[in-house]
Structures are given as structure tokens and as C-alpha cells.
Chains A and B, each alone.
Chain A
Amino acid sequence: MELSGAEIVIQCLKEEGVEYVFGYPGGAVLHIYDALFKQNDIQHILVRHEQGATHAADGYARSCGKPGVALVTSGPGATNAVTGIATAYMDSIPMVVLTGQVPSPFIGSDAFQEVDTVGITRPCVKHNFLIKNVRDIASTFRKAFYLATSGRPGPVVIDIPKDITDPNIKIPFSYPKKIKMRSYNPVAKGHLGQIKRAIDLMLQAERPVIYTGGGVVLDNADKQLVELVRTLGFPITSTLMGLGAYPGTDKQFLGMLGMHGTYEANMAMHETDTLIAIGARFDDRVTGQVAQFCPNATIIHIDIDPSSISKNVRVDVPIVGPVSSVLDDMLLVLKENKQSLKSEALAKWWKQIEVWRSKQCLKYQQGSDIIKPQFAVETLYRVTGGDAFVASDVGQHQMFAAQFYRFNKPRRWINSGGLGTMGFGLPAGMGIQMAYPDASVAVVTGEASIQMCIQELATCKQYHLPLKIMLLNNGYMGMVRQWQEFFYEGRYSHSYVDSLPDFVKLAESYGHVGMKIEQPNDLEAAMQEAFAMRDRLVFMDVVVDPTENVYPMIEAGKGHHEMYMSPGSELV
């Protein structure tokens, strides 16, 4: 079979089982777009901005686990995609981004729409390639998909000069069956000796805490996690990225930890004697002040990436390996171990945790006149039966969603945790809806975030994506406003979002349904009406209390035991 470079690109995507390509055409990728036009196996989703393409591919990957694919042109196409690439990189999301490049002979000449894409993306990709010969396309694609999806996943960029896809140059095509890279061998199993050591420590623990992160979700290790946690009977907390891997409504679950984590989770972290970190990376939003982090704990850390271990916090028992396989081994070792748990101490520990829990740190007062954002999220939870995919933007609404939508399944909570990218939610929601056309997909957003990728409402119309957008409209960049209230004596420098559009009319002008909801009593019925419109995108502009803050809160640089609990309260 003789194919042109452009046809090979398409063929490689088919070989990798790619269903959707999120993209935007331009000069350098015209040959590829022509090859796309001539086939029906891969569906191209035309976004309205390249940032949307990468976020949509990312949302697709996060929700279904398969690598997301984006296709953009050279120069501004590539630079617009960078935010989405960096977002995926920070959260270890498998993605392959194809960028057009000026023809090889023009590289370095400051040609029209030329940027050094490989150079610009280098620090925010797992790896990137510049294809220099049409004969290298197939092997490069094979490597790119392998790299993106194996080990610690991440985005891979393939930069393709226009002459490489020349339709007039045809070569024989065959896709490599196997790929071996001598310089890349991700660990397949954890060290058994370390696993045994960890189990010994866990069985001796008197005040254990299991702390899980996005790695559990990425490696589909939720079943093993649930079995381990239930077998041990230990309390478990999760990072923002790990929510849903362990059922959020389960009694052993303490809620999220960290800057806006629950009182019980953070206090348990502070008092624990044995911390079991699973697929989590000790991010600063989780640890707070490192010097005060889990001061009394022996720390066990399971991670696929050796460089995550002892990066921010020194650990005692590192276990490098895929979470699922390490947990499988742990369960086996646990069955063979004759030691029993310290049940008396554990009972005491749970009693202490229940005391912390009884503080009801997430309590809020919903009055009759203005909607509290927490109430809006709880209503969303009720109306969707707790079973929707929830994509979020970044800010207060993101934290409220994480605290109040209790995710019972993995891959249901889709948000930009590491990079904190405003504008992520709507395009990510599109990717989720493409992966699950019949599922309820909610986008929880704010009036500042949504305007960063609002143009994708047109994409939703074109591809009939019936997202349910819940805009928590408080007129402020709420999280910025909250920090200004706490730490800048209420000087709200440029955090008020003036001149907002009429979101109902805006949604309607894009061909969608718009709703404005202002009364607490109207909220549930309106939301039910919105979700009943199975085939329409509904944009709910929910006017919420502009003064509401996210609690509990640990100030940056403080310890887990130093939380602000409610308006005006002292540190506890």
C-alpha cells in the first residue's frame, strides 16, 4: 500500500483506534485536512479556538481513559494549543497533539506562521517529536501513542512540516506492531520487598490515613483501592484529582484534603502516624507548609514516577510501580500476613475522627432570598442522582463542586487541578460528551472562567452536544476576591467582572437554551427542566451570593491543623 504522508497520518490514527480528532485547520495542515476529508472512520470536531481543541481532547481522555487527539496548524495554532498541552501535562493526561509546521526547507527562516513548536512545548510535554522524513511518520506515531499512554501518562506533541505530508510523494506504509525504546522502560511492578515492608507498617499503624490522588484514577485502580481500604478499615482522604476513585458517600471517606479540604481530613493528616500515599504527588495545595506536614508519620508512597518520590516530602517507604499492580500485590501480601490490625487503637482513632467530623466543617446557611453556591452544587447533585460527569473550570465554583458533589465513581470529576486553567470546563465537557453521547454532562463554571472559552458554544451547537452548564454567577473572580478579602484587607483589585453579557441571550444567540435562576426556591425545578431537555444544551445562569467564601481554608504556607473554618473565625 503506497500512501502520502498526509494519508499515513490518518492511517496511523486509525491504527491507534482514534475515534475523534479535535482540531482547527490552517496552512501547514491542509494536506492532512484533505486526507481527513476523504475518509469516514475518524470524525473531526471543529473547535473555535485551538485551546478548545486541546481541552476537549483532554476531557475525552480523562473521562474514557483513551488518549485524546488534537490537530492544529503551525504558529498561532500551536501556541494557542500550549495552554491545553500544559494543562494535560500537569495532570498526567494521555494526549497526542499534532501540530503543523512550515515546510522543512523554511524552518529557521522566520517563515509565515512559523514558531519553534518543539522548543515552546518542550517543558510541558512528556515528549515531543519533529518529523524530518515521511518514512518516520509511522514509527513516530507508534512511539507517541506508546509514550502518551504508558508509565506516567502525559501529552506528546508531533510537529509535522508541511512537505512531509505532500500528497504527491507516496511511500509504502506499514504500521509497526511492536515498539521498543531502549531509553524508556516504565516500571511494570512494584518491589515486593518494599510492598511487604509497607504492609508490616500498615498493620502496626495506630492512626493511619490513606491519601490518594489522580494516579489511582489514571491507572483504573479504583477497585483495588476500595478492596484495600475496606479490608484495612482505614480512613481515606483524596486530593482534588483523585475524587471518585473511592466512593465519596462512604463512611470511611473523610472528604478532600488540603487547602480547601475538610477539617476531619486535614486534622487526620496532622495527627496520623502512618500515611499511605497512593498515586498522589504531595502538591503544595495538599501539603501546605512542608515542615509541618504529617509531623508524626511514617510515610509510604506508591507512585509510577520515581521523580515524584521524595520530591516535596521525604518518604520512608517508596514503592515505584503502577498503582493497580502494586495494590494487587498489597492485597496478596495482606492475605498471607498473619499479623492482625491494631483494632483497639484504630477504634480510638475513628472515635477521634468522628469528633472532628462532628464539627460539620462544610455547613452553610441557605436563606430564602439568595442562592448559596454550595446549595447550587448540592441541588445539581440531587437532580443528577450523583451520577453525572462534572467538568469544572477554576476558582471557587471548582472547590464547591469538589466539596459538595460527592463522586462515587472515578473519571466523573473532570477538572484542571495542577495548572488551574480557567476556560477548561466547557471544552473539556465537549470531549466528555463525545466519549459518552448519552450521559449527563454538567459544566460547573463561573462568569469569569466561562468567558475564556465561551466560543465553544458554537462547537456544541454544530455537534449537538447537550451539555448542562451551571454558571455560578457572583460577579467576581470569586477565588481572587476571597484572597483579597483575607490577605489584602478587602482591596478588590480588578476582581470584579464588570460589563457581563446577558448569558441567557448569549446562549440563545448560539442556538441553545438559556435560563436565569435567582431564587433558591426555583433552583431545583429549573435544573430538573434543564436536565429533562436531553438533546439541548442548557445554559443556567445561577445568580449566587457574591460574598460567599470557600471554607475550610488553609492559608498558603500554613500547616494542616491551621484552618479558617467560617467567616470571621480565628484559626483552629
Chain B
Amino acid sequence: MKKGEYIKVLGLWLLVALISPQVKPRRYEGGLSKNIQAKEEMNHSALGIVLGEFRTSLSDMFYMQTENFLHYGVAFVPHEHEKHSEASEMVSEWTEVDDEAGEDEHAMHEGHDHEHIVDHDEDVHGEGHEGHEGHGHEHEELTVIPSAEHDFRAWVGEMHRAIKPWQAPGEAHRVASDAEVVPLFRMMTLADPHYVKGYQVGAYWIQQLDAEAASKFLAEGLQNNPDSFELYLMRGMLHLKQARSLGEKGQINEDNVEQRAVLLKAKADFQKSAALMLQVRPAQEIVDDEDQILWSEVQETDAMAATHLSVLLEQRVGDPEQAKRLAKEYSAAMPDHKKLTKLLQEGP
């Protein structure tokens, strides 16, 4: 080929390469396997039982693997955990104790952080106390292999319980160490870059080992899911933790320049999260309906945390008047948010 022809071909190839990043028809939120009702059906459908774990997408399969791993191989029936105020609870501890005894004594404990983040994820981490052997459950979870009283298979059942990991009802719940689940989260998000829960929960586990890596992981999640309010909330939480790590004994001091800079980043993330959340959250009457499947309890908890932290940080490191305006705006959409109401009543 002549030189001019080479240039033409290379020019065309360059054009194709430039267009390539614009082609993302598979960039969308959710999907059938993330719909609560559809997931429920999958877990109970005859086809699901026949096809086992291959019934769902690859990332769902990895997610189930994390569950098995964290429960020492004991397979639990998909379940909803007991009701908890999750992130809001953690936030309230942070703020209320601050109010009473001064913030220096009330750094956000890692345990709280953990509870918060792990509680996002209902099925995988249970009560989320990794490494806490023998942490008890307030309720009884059913294992896939039934107990002797509920098993019609007699000696076959006995053998099944003996050779497979199994846990008797009422026995203390144990959750395995975290480090080895990290590759599973990496794989599930590679398999499905729109698996927000994978990024959210994965970032929690990764940040325990390497905060920088967790931050990169979340950045990737946000690049693939720019409209996910959960991921902005998560990144805000990481910033919050980073701010604590900069203070003495994990304390937060807004006058500390370094901490303040990080808190401002956290504030921006919480406010972005709250703004995105308000765009997708259904009306309050729908959220209140127990039978609705549009908005899960976990999403509502995240929503509460995002709005509360957004107002709280605006109050502390931003403009108190703006904080009040935000609190009013959020309260209008979430009239049941007690923490916000309280903040509004207290004023700046």
C-alpha cells in the first residue's frame, strides 16, 4: 500500500477508536436480577432450584459465594435480617454523643462503620462482625440443609448434615475473616460493572485492608454507575473515615485544616448522594406501603444516612443557613426522617 493509503486507513482506525468510548448501550442501572421481586422469584422458582446457582447472572453467583464463604460454607436460606436503623443509627450516635459530651470523645468507631456498611448488605454479611466468633443472632436463620426435626430424610439428612458445613438452629452465628472475599467482589464487578451492591459492599471490605484501593474501587464503580446514590454515600463515608484517621485518636476537629479539607469532600459526596437519591426515591406513601417492591428498606436507610450526613456536615463545615435549607428540602420529601426533624428543630 502507498503512504497515502496507510494514512487513510490509520485515520479511519483512529476515528473508530475515538468513537469507541461513546458506545455503551449496556450502561444502565439495575436489571432484572437486581429487582427485589424478580430476585425473590428466582430464589423460589422451580427452574431456579433445578439450575442452581447458574440461574442468575455471574455476579449474583459470586455474591452468593461471598455469603457461603463468610458463613464458613454454611448455606442459609435467603432471608431478611431483623429491622435496624443501620446507617442512621451510626450517624445518630456520632452526633448525639457529640452534642452531649463534645466531639473529641466520640470518634466514629470502626465497629459502627462496619455495622453501617455491612447492614447495607442483607444477605452477605449478616450482622457484620467479621472475626467476632460466636456473635449471636436476635433471630433464627434457616439453613438450606434443614435441622433433624424438620428433615424427612432420616439418616440421609444426618449424613448430609455431617458431611456438609451446617449450623444448628440457635447456634451462635459466625462470620469469617474478610480478606479472602475481596477477589470475589472484584470478579462480580468485572462480570457486571452495574452491580452497585458489589461495589458498595466490596469497597467496605477493601477499605479495611487498604483505604486507597477502596477509593479506587469506588471510583471505578462511580464511573460505571454515575447515578448511584449509594456509591456517593459510600465514598462520603470513606472520606469521613479518612478525616478521622487524620485526627489524634480518631477524633474529628473541624478546625484542623487537613481534616476540614477531607470533610468538605465528604460533604460534597453526601450532598450529591442525597440529590441523586431524591430523583429516584418514590413518594412517601409508596415507601410506607409494606407490599411495595420499588424501594427497599436498605435503600431507605441509605437515603436517610445520605440526607442526615449531608445536613450535618453542612452545619459543621459549611453554611448553617444552607444546612437548614437542605434539611427543609429533605424533610419535605422524607417527612418521617426523625433525625432531620430534630436537626430542623434545633436550628443552626
Physical interaction between A and B:
no
